[in-house]
Amino acid sequence: MIDNSINTEGNELQAERNEKLLQQSANELFIKDQTKSIQGVITKYLTTSDVFGEQSDAIQNAILGNLDSLDLSVIEDKYSGQIVPYIYGELIAPLDKLGPDVQEKISKLFEVKPDGQSA
């Protein structure tokens, strides 16, 4: 009788564990999809910004090509989940503060020669 009770509780715990793992997996997929969506919004805003458009192609491509490595937790932590203030606060405003000489140096850093080496 005790063995049946233990087996029943064990089976219930295993079922609950499996359910939690399934929910965790679903949440991770949802977060991944939402991250892609956020990156799409960021790309659209950046490409319509005059400040971003004034940057060299090398800088623009480097930023757009690395959106997947941004720490998006800052959106929630610092900007209360608001994407547009994040874009301006973390991307556009810092670009706007770059002087022409710094922009040129950054551009050269991201330029790639045909042999795959940076300039």
Domain ranges across the chain: 2-110
Q: What are phi and psi of 54, to 5 degrees?
A: -80, -10
Mean pLDDT, residues 87-114 taken together: 82
Query: pLDDT value at position 99?
Result: 84
pLDDT digits (tens, 9 = 90+) for 49-68: 898 898 888 888 888 888 88
Check if the beta carbon of residue 53 is closer than 8 Å to that of residue 61: no
State residue 112's pLDDT score. Answer: 61
**CA 43 – CA 64 distance, rounded (Å):** 7
d(CA 83, CA 41): 8
User: What φ, ψ does residue 112 adopt, rounded to 5°?
Assistant: -120, 130
pLDDT tens, position by position, 4-39: 777 788 788 888 999 999 998 888 888 778 778 888
Which of 91, 63, 69, 68 shows the shortest CA–CA distance to 79?
91
